[in-house]
Amino acid sequence: MSTTTDAITSVTTTVDGVQLTLAVDGGRALVDVLRQDLSLYSTHLGCRNGDCGACTVLVDGTPLKSCLVPVGRIGGRVVETLEGLEGDDGALHPVQEEFLDAGAFQCGFCLAGHVLCTVAALRRDPVPADLSAELDGNLCRCTGYQQIATAVHAAPSAHR
């Protein structure tokens, strides 16, 4: 039986400011394409279950867990990974600076989720009432939540 729709095997998208056309099976998880095909390793792979948040990226500014996102879905959309926050001169993003100042990195595994969720929330509302609800999709195995909270709560002023 013929269908009017072909399987998606090519995706044109923008990743960290670079437009790319990827020859990929559209059903692969975005995290695998970022790490295996594009060598973008700041997007970590933890649980593959949507629990830990280590694979968080922004898609059109919205935080998503990239282990759950079919790469075929990002055609025509803008993906930002933690690597993409770096300035042209290699400078850290202000939110990253706050994490550094607060000693909130620890092992660094959960960083993509915590930093990107903070950045996304501050872009939407530069003076948020409460950022903690924006971060509850990220698990820190080091249990360094106090330092993360310190960094996140300092971030609104740094972000401006």
For other proteins, which is the closer residue by CB, 67 or 88? 67
Q: Determine, following the binding rule CB under 8 A, whether residue 72 of this chain makes contact with other proteins.
A: yes
Q: Determine, following the binding rule CB under 8 A, whether residue 48 of this chain makes contact with other proteins.
A: yes
How far apart CA 48 and CA 55 sit, in angstroms, is 9
Cite the beta strand spans of the chain per DSSP E.
10-15, 18-23, 56-59, 62-65, 78-80
Q: Determine, following the binding rule CB under 8 A, whether residue 131 of this chain makes contact with other proteins.
A: no
Measured from the CB of residue 124, what is the shortest distance to other proteins in angstroms?
10
- Is 14 within 8 Å of 2 (Cβ atoms)? no
Measured from the CB of residue 38, what is the shortest distance to other proteins in angstroms?
18
Measured from the CB of residue 85, what is the shortest distance to other proteins in angstroms?
17
Helix (H, G, I), strand (E, B) or coil at 98: helix
Q: Determine, following the binding rule CB under 8 A, whether residue 6 of this chain makes contact with other proteins.
A: yes
Q: Determine, following the binding rule CB under 8 A, whether residue 13 of this chain makes contact with other proteins.
A: no
The dihedral through the CA atoms of 63, 68, 70, 73 has a sign that is negative
Q: Determine, following the binding rule CB under 8 A, whether residue 83 of this chain makes contact with other proteins.
A: no
How far apart CA 126 and CA 143 sit, in angstroms, is 27
Measured from the CB of residue 53, what is the shortest distance to other proteins in angstroms?
6
Measured from the CB of residue 114, what is the shortest distance to other proteins in angstroms?
10
Q: Determine, following the binding rule CB under 8 A, whether residue 69 of this chain makes contact with other proteins.
A: yes
Cite the beta strand spans of 26-81 per DSSP E.
56-59, 62-65, 78-80
Question: Which of 77, 75, 83, 25 lies closest to 56, judged by CA?
Answer: 83
Return residues touching other proteins (CB under 8 A).
1, 3-9, 25-27, 29, 48-51, 53, 56, 62-65, 67-70, 72-73, 113, 117, 120-121, 133-139
